[in-house]
Structure 1
């Protein structure tokens, strides 16, 4: 009992500081109306700034490790409470297929471009996941099987958030220039802009119809996070020699929980109170994980990555935007 109590006590400083970083980031975004700034990105930057001031503290390490692993996985599980199969089904077969094909093509393209640019494969996978699926949430979820360095995670999130912000600014201008109707614009925003908040906010700039379509398209991409994580984990295990018994790759518990909540929510078995609580808790836990990663990231290693990963993120963003728009105009 004393050992358990001591272990729990050792987690407290790191978890508390991570929570303070997340709370500060959320408060700053709300206070200054920074709608284009993700609290997740701000949390990681605050964490890195705090590390630069106070240095790496050994007392924070156990709580930081707990926050970037079990708490992060719990946040991914809670994302499932916001999605139902009936919601995304209203996009129709063509809409669902275009979004899924765009996601798959973007992952493939990012891997190929990453190799051409000489970007480390683990970092390229994280940038590909964040671009193709749902921003920082996807980066964190995929890293549970990719197991990249903390600096790679921080770089990928910063890169994906920057590219998503540029998309928020460019899409309304492009929609006007291309004379896109609200249905097409909403589906395009939901199919290609990175963060959930970025995609939804951009879609609603063209009215309610575009906003609702964009939200549904983005929820469908969030649902696809689970099969991507499972597939990537199986491929990496095979390449790395793990699971040499030839058996199927195990389903990560947090992915199983994510799918389970989607199933419960789709069946109408989740009370509105639980759904509301999950909707508030998931972003905060994700911000805590990002703050903790910022505390654990070495800025010198981050800068050593150079500009090539940023070029990868920009290239992947441009590819996804073009591929998805062409698919929507042709088939959806």
Structure 2
């Protein structure tokens, strides 16, 4: 018992600092309508001095690592299998093919551009699945690397900025192309990176488009488990596990995500509980993003150069073109 109390005292200052930054980021996001992850990152980086001080150091590290994993696991409470089945075969085809090709091409191009191939997996996964949440989940599953946190931060910044841009531009594109309600909702849900931006774009067009876009997006979120499994298997098979212990074939938080999807799909879980779990997931992810920001300095992001920006913009453009092509072909 005394050990638990001592551990709590050790973590408390840093956890509270991350919680304050998360609360401020949430308020700013609601007030200005911008991505909450981006605000959390910016506020965290402004509080970077705390990560080097003994009272907050351990709590910040705990929040950026352990709470991140709990946040990813609780994402499972947002999805049911019935939601996926109700969409029909066309969105499943678009999401499945887009996911495989976007991540695969990102890894190849990243390697050709001189990056670690795992950066292509990280950025491609964030683009193809669910933006900042996917970037954090994949980062947690990948082995330790001196540049991993910087790559994660850059991916979160890039995918958040691109998600905001696509939220504004893609509805105009859908109207210009004359897409019907089902096709427009599928396109928005299959291409915009973050869940909040999908919701904003979809419901800005119509209720029906917003409903379809949200369900398609949640289908992409459900792809977290197989992609995490692929990421861990790939790093083990290619000897990229680093100097630390080999990661488990399927991390516990990915198992938790799958279990919660299954439980939520039964309908036995009261709606208030699933909603509370989903909200708690958001809080954990925002707080962990603030913690990651506190552990990084701005000058580390400035030194990344132009090539990673080109890679992420290219991934986003490729995903949009591929989704439109698949929708036209399967119509």
Counterpart of 1:50 in structure 2 is: 47
1:302 and 2:298 correspond: no
Residue pairs, 1:1-332, within 5 angstroms: 1-30=1-30, 32=31, 34-35=32-33, 37-51=34-48, 56-147=52-143, 148=145, 149-240=148-239, 250-332=249-331
Residue deviations 1:153-211 (CA, integer Å, cap 9, x gap): 11110001111111112112211221111211110010011001111211122211111
Residue 12 of structure 1 aligns to a residue in which SS? helix
Contact 1:56-1:295 within 8 A present in 2 as well? no
* TM value normalised by structure 2: 0.93
Question: 1:137 Cα shift?
Answer: 0.6
Q: Describe the superposition over 1:2-38 as per-residue Cα deviations: whole angstroms up to 9, x where unpaired.
A: 33322221111111000000000001122x2x22x11
* Contact 1:78/1:282, CA 8 A, preserved across alignment: yes
Q: Deviations over 1:279-318 (max 9, x none)?
A: 2111111000000000001322222111211111100000
Structure 1 Cα separation of the partners of residues 105 and 179 of structure 2:
26
Q: For the residues of structure 2 that align with 1:308 and 1:145, how far apart are their CA atoms?
A: 25
Q: Quick one: distance in 2 between partners of 1:104 and 1:215? A: 21
Shift of 1:124: 2.6
In structure 2, do the counterparts of structure 1 residues 84 and 325 end up closer, same or farther at CA, with 3 Å as the change threshold? same
How many residue pairs are counted as aligned between the two chains?
A: 325
Q: What RMSD in Å do the two structures reach over aligned CA positions?
A: 1.9
SS in 1 for 2:47: helix
Q: Which consecutive unaligned segments of at least 5 residues does structure 1 have?
A: none
Which consecutive residues of structure 2, in runs of 5 or more, have no partner in the other structure? none
How far did residue 249 of structure 1 move? 5.4
Q: Deviations over 1:95-132 (max 9, x none)?
A: 21211111111101211222233233333322111101
TM-score (norm 1): 0.93
Aligned to 2:52, the other structure's residue is in SS state coil
